[in-house]
C-alpha cells in the first residue's frame, strides 16, 4: 500500500524569517485540520513525517530517494526515466511571501519524495468545503525514485528592468553570468529563462507531473509558470550501474559523462567550492538547459556512414570510430587510408571531448521529448539538454561555442530554448529550506 494513501505529519519547515500573518493557503489548510492539527503544525517540520528525526524521511517507503543531504538530489542521483521540468516567474514583489513559498515548497517536496501527499491533510481527508491540499493523481503510487531539484535564475536577483525586487542582487554569483548568444541559436523568449526552476525526475511520469502540479498549486499568487517541458528516455547515465541510453538519432549518448562514483571529478567539475563565489552556493551547482529540436526526418534519410561520421561513433556499439568498445578512448590522431582523420574534425565527439576543451567536463542528465507534430507532418521532437557544472563560464560556454561554430550535427539541430540557474546545496535537515542561506 502506498504511503500516499496515509495522512499525517506537518506542513512546513520552521523559519527564522517567518512573515507576519497567515497566508490564505495556510488558513484554508488549518481550517480543515482542527485543534489537534494546529497543534501538530506548531510542532514545526519535525512533524513532516510523523516524527522529528531526519532518517524517517527516507524510511517512509521503498523506492524513495533521500531528500535531506549535503547536495540536492536529482543531480548525481542515477538518472530516472521521466522528467517534468518547469521554469517559474515570481509575480510578487513581497520578499516575505517568496520566503514563505520556498519554505512551503521544501516541506511539500520532502513529503512527496518520501511517497506522501504534498500537504498535511492530503487529497481525500479534508473537509468538503475546502480544496484538498494534494491533487490526488498519485494516490496509490509508490515514490518511483522521485527527486525534486530547485534552482534560481539570474532574473531573481535583478529582473529585466534592472530592479532588485528581493534585496539579493549583491548575492548573485559571478558564475551566474548571462549566457552569450551562440551561432545558430533560434531561441524563443517565451521558452527561455525564468526566476526559479524546478526539475522533477521519477520512474513514473504521473509521479513527476504530480510533483510539479502541486508545487504550482502551492505557488499560486506568488509564482506563475513561464514554460515547462516533459521528457522521457534519459539521454545519459549518471552512475556506472546504468547502461548508456540512446537519443532520438539512435546513437548512444553520454558515454563520457561524469558519474556519481567519480568523487574527485565531481569536486573539480560539478560542485561549487568554498571561495568560488558567495557562501550560499558552496556545495551547489549551476544548471544549463537547452531545448534542442532535432530534424528527425532529415536525419533519417542520411546514410549510416554519414551519420557515424557526424557523431564520431559507430551506431551499434557506440565505440569511437576506429575503436572496438564503447568506453575506449577516442584516438583523434588516427588517420584513414585517405589520410583524413578517422574521427572527423567536425564530429560531435571530437568537438565536445574534454581533451579539446581544456579539460572541461559536464554532468549531463537530459531527456528525449516529443511534443506532437509541427503542423507540417514532421515530429516536434528532440533533446531537452540538462547539464550541471561548477562554473558555466569555464565549462558549458566554451564547449557550446566550439560546437555551435563547427559541429557537423548543427545541420540537423535547432536550439529553441535556453535556461541558466544556480542550484543551492541540499536541504540538510527538517529545519532547513531551499534558499535559506540566500535569504538570511
* Domain assignment present for 381: no
Q: Which three cell numbers stand for residue 261?
A: 562514483
> What are the b/e assignments for 361-384, b being 16+ CB within 10 Å?
bbbbbbbbbbeeeeeeeebbbbbb
Residue 186 placed within a domain:
yes
Residue whose cell numbers read 493523481: 137
Residue appearing with cell numbers 521503498:
62
Q: CB-based contacts of 107: which residues, under 8 Å, 6+ apart?
A: 10, 11, 12, 13, 45, 48, 433
Q: Is residue 82 part of a domain?
A: yes
What pLDDT, on the 0 to 100 scale, is given for residue 113? 98
Output the pLDDT for position 177: 98
Closest CA to 366 of 285, 290, 259, 267: 290
Is residue 41 in a domain? yes
For residue 233, give the 3-state DSSP assignment: strand
Task: Decide if 19 is inside a domain.
Answer: yes
Number of domain units in the chain:
1
- Residues in the chain where the model's pLDDT stays below 70: 1-61
Answering whether pTM is above 0.85, one says: yes
Residue 375 lies in a domain: no
Is 308 inside any structural domain? no
Confirm whether 326 is domain-assigned.
no
DSSP E strand boundaries for 39-163: 82-90, 147-152
pLDDT score for 4 = 65
CB atoms within 10 A of CB 18: 12
* 26 to 132, 212, 372, 412: CA distances (angstroms): 12, 19, 39, 50
CB crowding 339-359: b at 16 or more within 10 Å, else e: eebbbbebbbbbbbbeeebee
Q: Give me the domain span that covers residue 237.
A: 3-292+421-439
The predicted pLDDT at position 3 comes to 52
CB count within 10 Å of CB 306 equals 11
Amino acid at each position: 500500500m502506498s504511503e500516499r494513501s496515509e495522512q499525517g505529519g506537518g506542513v512546513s519547515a520552521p523559519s527564522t524569517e517567518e512573515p507576519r500573518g497567515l497566508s490564505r493557503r495556510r488558513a484554508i489548510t488549518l481550517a480543515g485540520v482542527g485543534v489537534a492539527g494546529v497543534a501538530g503544525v506548531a510542532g514545526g517540520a519535525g512533524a513532516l513525517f510523523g516524527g522529528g528525526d531526519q532518517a524517517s524521511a527516507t524510511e517512509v517507503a521503498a523506492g524513495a530517494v533521500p531528500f535531506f543531504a549535503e547536495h540536492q538530489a536529482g543531480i548525481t542521483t542515477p538518472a530516472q526515466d521521466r522528467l517534468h521540468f518547469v521554469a517559474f516567474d515570481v509575480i510578487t514583489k513581497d520578499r516575505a511571501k517568496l520566503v514563505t513559498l520556498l519554505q512551503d515548497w521544501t516541506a511539500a517536496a520532502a513529503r512527496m519524495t518520501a511517497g506522501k501527499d504534498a500537504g498535511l491533510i492530503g487529497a481525500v481527508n479534508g473537509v468538503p468545503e475546502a480544496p484538498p491540499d494534494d491533487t490526488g493523481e498519485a494516490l496509490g503510487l509508490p515514490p518511483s525514485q522521485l527527486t525534486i531539484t530547485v534552482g534560481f535564475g539570474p532574473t531573481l536577483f535583478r529582473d529585466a528592468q534592472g530592479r532588485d525586487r528581493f534585496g539579493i542582487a549583491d548575492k548573485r554569483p559571478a558564475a551566474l553570468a548571462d549566457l552569450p548568444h551562440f551561432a545558430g541559436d533560434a531561441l524563443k523568449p517565451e521558452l527561455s529563462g525564468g526566476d526559479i526552476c524546478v526539475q522533477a525526475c521519477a520512474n513514473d511520469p504521473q509521479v513527476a507531473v504530480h510533483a510539479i502540479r502541486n508545487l504550482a498549486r502551492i505557488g499560486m499568487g506568488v509564482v506563475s509558470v513561464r514554460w515547462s517541458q516533459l521528457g522521457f528516455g534519459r539521454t545519459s547515465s549518471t552512475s556506472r550501474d546504468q547502461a548508456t541510453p540512446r537519443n532520438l538519432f539512435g546513437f548512444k549518448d553520454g558515454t563520457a559523462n561524469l558519474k556519481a562514483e567519480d568523487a574527485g571529478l565531481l569536486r573539480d567539475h560539478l560542485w561549487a567550492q568554498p571561495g568560488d563565489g558567495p557562501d550560499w552556493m558552496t556545495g551547489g551547482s549551476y544548471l544549463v538547459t537547452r531545448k534542442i529540436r532535432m530534424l528527425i526526418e532529415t536525419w533519417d534519410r542520411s546514410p549510416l556512414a554519414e551519420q557515424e561520421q557526424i557523431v564520431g561513433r559507430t551506431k551499434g556499439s557506440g565505440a569511437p570510430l576506429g575503436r572496438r568498445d564503447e568506453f575506449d578512448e577516442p584516438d583523434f590522431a588516427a588517420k584513414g587510408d585517405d589520410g583524413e582523420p578517422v574521427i572527423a574534425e567536425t564530429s560531435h565527439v571530437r568537438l565536445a571531448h574534454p581533451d579539446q576543451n581544456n579539460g572541461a567536463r559536464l554532468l549531463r542528465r537530459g531527456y528525449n521529448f516529443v511534443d506532437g507534430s509541427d503542423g507540417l507532418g514532421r515530429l516536434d521532437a528532440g533533446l531537452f539538454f540538462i547539464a550541471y557544472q561548477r562554473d558555466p563560464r569555464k565549462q558549458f560556454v566554451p564547449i557550446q561555442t566550439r560546437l555551435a561554430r563547427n559541429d557537423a550535427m548543427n545541420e540537423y539541430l535547432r536550439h529553441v530554448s535556453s535556461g541558466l540557474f544556480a542550484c543551492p546545496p541540499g536541504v540538510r535537515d527538517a529545519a532547513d529550506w531551499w534558499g535559506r542561506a540566500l535569504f538570511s
